[in-house]
Structure formats: C-alpha cells, structure tokens
Amino acid sequence: MATNAFVHLENTDDTQRLSDYTSVRVDLLCVLEYASELQKNGYNLGTYVEPLMIAAIIKYGRVFSGGIRRVSLYEQRYVVLAPQQIAFHERLMAIRDKHIAHSVNSYEESQPIARYWVERVEQEGISSIECQHTRVACLSTVEIESIIDLAKTWVQFVDTKIAEEEREILEIVRKIPIEQILKNAPKAPLSNVGTPDKRRKN
C-alpha cells in the first residue's frame, strides 16, 4: 500500500500566486452556491433571499478588490468576459459599492408620507405621518442567471491559471534536493489563527 504525504512549500512569489488563485476560486464557488440556491428555491427561501443575494455579490466583489492577494482578475475582465458580461459585471460591482456597502442608490428609499381618509379629509385633515421604506430585496431571475454565468466563466479562467501555476511550481520543486524539501514538516491548517483584524502573513 502506498502512502501519499505532503510538505509545506516555502512562501515565494510563485507559491503565493497559486495560493491567491485558489482563494479566488473558493470565493467564486461560494458565489455559484449562493446564486444557485436563489435560482433553485427563489422566494421560497423567505427572509434568507436577501442575505443570500448580498453574500453572493460580496463574494463576487472580493475577487476584484485589493487586500492581501497579489493576483487580481480586475484587468483580465476585458480578456475573459464577453461585452454583455462586462456590462453586468460593472452593474454587480455598482450594486455592491452603492447599495450593499453604502446606501447611496435608488435601490432603497424611505419616503415620509402624510396619511388621510379620502372621505373625511375636508373635515379631519391629515390623520397621521409615517415613513414608507422600500428596497430591492433580491435580483431578478435573469440577473441571478447572469451571476451564475459570470462565476462559471471566471472559475474556468482561474482553473487554467491554477493548473499553470502548479506545473511551474512542480518544475521548480523537482530541481530542489529532496532532503531539503522534506525538512518542511506539515502543520495543522489554520493552526495559528489570530484575530480577524490582524493581517495574515500570506
């Protein structure tokens, strides 16, 4: 019986790109999972519709924001996406920035109103004051399909990049003496978890 084992590789620019593309892929798979759930069950999800939509859009936006990742798909959008996908990508990013992250949009409105009884308004005047709140709780069916299409397109692209990085790193590692490689004993994943506000090393 053969035993397959592993060792941790030193952190280099090459291995960092592989790590970053892998993290991007995880985010995109989350987008697919959330959007597919919306597509499958829609408004049967009740109060979970809006959180799932928000989660899908935030995960999508993470792929293109800065942070610690050294790879960004932002400049690749004109190469990877079709024109209609680019337009929807820009729309999603605007929803993320102007609706989800900041309330500076037309997707939500709180409008003060004065209520009155039509039959008695001449005698009684205004009966009460209140504020009506309206907001977009979920994207349309077509938009959800477009999110799924975008995420699948990006996953395909990222899978290609991951395969390229793995081949390049394998060539590099095979040139290093095996004794040196085997010195790096494995450690438990996330064994040194800090706090969310602390910047990770890689």
Q: How far is CA 144 from CA 50, 66, 102, 149, 167, in A?
A: 12, 25, 21, 9, 35
- The CA distance from 97 to 61, in Å, is 9
Mean pLDDT (whole number) for 83-106: 84
Q: Encode pLDDT of 136-151 as tens digits.
A: 656 788 999 999 999 9
135 vs 64, residue with greater confidence = 64
92 vs 193, residue with greater confidence = 92
Question: Does residue 134 surpass a pLDDT of 80?
Answer: no
Q: Which of 42-46, 71-75, 155-159, 170-174 has the highest mean pLDDT?
A: 155-159
Of 51-65, 78-92, 98-112, the one with minimum mean pLDDT is 98-112
Amino acid identity of residue 19, one-letter, is: S
Read off the pTM.
0.76
**Tokens representing 43?**
């408004």
Residue-level pLDDT at 37:
92
- Are 184 and 47 in contact by the 8 Å Cβ rule? The answer is no
Q: How far is CA 16 from CA 1, 38, 144, 150, in A?
A: 33, 33, 32, 25
Residue-level pLDDT at 191:
52
Q: Where are the domains of the chain?
A: 15-116+126-182
User: 3-class DSSP state for residue 69?
Assistant: coil
Percent share of the chain, pLDDT over 90: 44
Residue-level pLDDT at 69:
78
Q: Encode pLDDT of 156-187 as tens digits.
A: 999 999 999 999 999 999 998 988 888 876 65
**Tokens representing 137?**
């709780």
Q: Which of 71, 57, 75, 201 is nearest to 143 (CA)?
A: 57
Q: Encode pLDDT of 4-34 as tens digits.
A: 888 888 888 889 999 999 999 999 999 999 9
Residue-level pLDDT at 57:
93
DSSP for 85-114, written as a single string: HHHHHHHHHHHIIIIISS--SSSEEEEEEE
Amino acid identity of residue 24, one-letter, is: V
Residue-level pLDDT at 99:
75
- Are 28 and 157 in contact by the 8 Å Cβ rule? The answer is no
